[in-house]
Amino acid sequence: MMILRVLAALFMLVGIIWILQGVNLLPGSFMTGDPQWTINGAIAAAIGLGIFAYTFQKK
């Protein structure tokens, strides 16, 4: 489960970075100011959150 939690945290971190670049708050790449990266980031962060929540379910 620890590996899944690390993977989930990475998905969420990357998603947040993509969101910030998409809304032009984190400049310096080709993704800056492109709304498509805001959407991609939100999807990646949601996947990460879903994986993270899954790891805490009781079995």
Mean pLDDT by 10 residues, the chain (59 residues): 94 97 92 94 97 87
Return the pLDDT at 49: 97
**pTM for the full predicted model:** 0.88
Return the pLDDT at 59: 64
The terminus-to-terminus CA distance of the chain in angstroms comes to 12
DSSP string computed for the chain: -HHHHHHHHHHHHHHHHHHHHHTTSS-SSTTTT-HHHHHHHHHHHHHHHHHHHHHTS--
